[in-house]
A and B are shown apart, each in its own frame.
Chain A
Amino acid sequence: MRRAGLILAPYLWLLALFLVPFLIVLKISLSDQALAIPPYTPTLDITAGWQGITDWFSGLDLENYWFLTDDDLYWKAYRSSLKIASLSTLMTLLVAYPIAYGMARTADEWRPTLMMLVILPFWTSFLIRVYSWKAILSQEGLLNQFLMWIGVINEPLVILNTTTAVYIGIVYTYLPFMVLPIYAALEKLDGSLLEAAEDLGCSRLQAFWLITVPLSKQGIIAGSFLVFIPAMGEFVIPDLLGGSKTLMIGKVLWEEFFTNRDWPVASAVAVVLLLLLIIPIILFQRNEQKNREADG
């Protein structure tokens, strides 16, 4: 009895507030926009009995999805989100790995401090951390002032409101998500394996490629999912740093909803984004489950 209660409370909560909402999104993506409250038709009228239900069904169609394929904008936005998310995941990995590696090689007494230093930015506001780059990257910003002062450039670079700024923003804000799982994997690595490899004639670089990298695979995979999936639907970073030229699907969805008030199209955009993400999300969940069982 108690066990049933324990399961039911979180289960029902997630069903009602996580799963059901997605079904509603799916349904509304098949509806039409209307100048009413709520701004879509058809709405289900239970009081009309069977007639009401059949009317509701016949009012649903794939029109919004056809609309997405008609307009070039959506296709471009999905493609550019995919590109930005994949490339920035790769860049985050390249920046994060040496940091995690350095942490794992530090003496035991320093590790908690380094760990805390990496986690601390994660606890500070995401919005503020993204915003902090505005003052650095703008035309008259500190980066340009610095570069002109040391004489590398003569004219300020345009970085803010370009895709470059979006890449910097994603790498910066998601860095802890990549460092921590890789560090967790490297920390467990048995140093004697590397010694054995070197005794058997491996160079240090070979030992790194053949032993360290494969053994930290779990961390790399977990970190990459933690960066890639949210980056795909990112809104704040492209909006604050990317300007109007950067096209990302999270921003398109936002504008479709808040600016155009076209809820059915916004829902269709969300459904397609979710379809793109469903495989990575399932793989992520499997991976986490496997890691937990390995630890337990």
Chain B
Amino acid sequence: MRKLSWFNVTSLFLGLAFLYLPMIILVIYSFNGGKLVTVWSGFSTKWYVVLFHDQAFLNAAWITLKVAVISSTVATLLGTMAAIVLVRSGRFLGRTLFSGMIYAPLVMPDVITGLALLLLFIAIGIDRGILTIVLAHITFSMCFVSVVVSSRLASFDQSLEEAALDLGCTPFDAFKSVTLPIIAPAVISGWLLAFTLSLDDLVISSFMSGPSSTTLPIKIYSAVRLGVNPEINALSTIMIAFVSVGVISVSLLSKRSIARRQREEQEAIG
């Protein structure tokens, strides 16, 4: 599979243009001075000023961030446990059901998950609010974490951990000092994935939220339903910048750590 033809180059170029043009346009128009979003009327940062004085948005952003940090942390813990069970536990009663419950939420339409969880919370009498949003987010994002971590666990040589056990480690120590460092990158990307999913969720949060728990996506949704809104363009630009810096730095860091590991392996052999 080598040799790039003009066809390959064109399809890559068009594909990336399709993926990025809408976002680039959004970023450019966030610096538009006029209120009309499709007519350019000079460079201005006024929508950013408007945004930073909008208390409702700032409150929503704060709630969203809190929900995302708490839910992604719990989801990472539960998801990693589930991954270990999936990869290591062999057969146990209800294994098929368990793996079904891990994979189904990955593709389950949000409207169904949201409705089902809401009806549960109402049946057991928990008021809608931040707590219910957090519980819902943990539930679907732990499945994503578990898939990410289990693919890493499956490719990892279990004899390393057995060696540690033979050398007198307790199972917990062996896990902590051998397995955990190896699966750590997957656990971290699982956390990041859970964090992003939580930040991004509109539909499930809408079912879960009460009057005092409006999250950022709910706020954005109600603002853009009726049309294009310059304040939202500014907010989107900030979010896109944030994600880009994050993704690029994580991939640079992982590139460097792979290079370092290869160098160390070379030195160890040579």
Contacts and interface: CB of A to CB of B under 8 A. Distances in A.
A295 B202 contact: no
A10 B81 contact: yes
A234 to B, nearest CB: 7
Interface in A108-126: 112, 114, 116-121, 123-126
A270 B94 CA distance: 25
Q: Which of B29, B105, B239, B247 is the most central at the interface, judged by chain A CB atoms within 10 Å of its CB?
A: B247
Interface residues of B, number: 94
A51 interface: no
Interface string A214-232: 0000000000011001101
Given A123-B246, A285-B104, A38 B81 contact: no
B4 interface: yes
A284 B100 CA distance: 10
A118 B22 CA distance: 14
Nearest to A106: B4
Interface residues of A, number: 99
B268 interface: no
B85 A2 contact: no
The DSSP consensus for interface residues of chain A is helix
Given A21-B119, A186-B1, A103 B12 contact: yes
A267 B115 contact: yes
Given A25-B116, A127-B221, A295-B151, 7 more contacts: A18-B139, A24-B116, A102-B9, A107-B4, A125-B220, A235-B203, A296-B155
Interface of A: 2-3, 6-7, 9-11, 13-15, 17-22, 24-25, 28, 38, 95-96, 98-99, 101-107, 112, 114, 116-121, 123-129, 131-136, 138, 140-142, 145, 172, 175-176, 179, 186-187, 189, 191, 194, 225-226, 229-230, 232-236, 239-240, 250, 253-254, 257-258, 263, 266-267, 270, 273-274, 277, 280-282, 284-285, 288-289, 292, 295-296
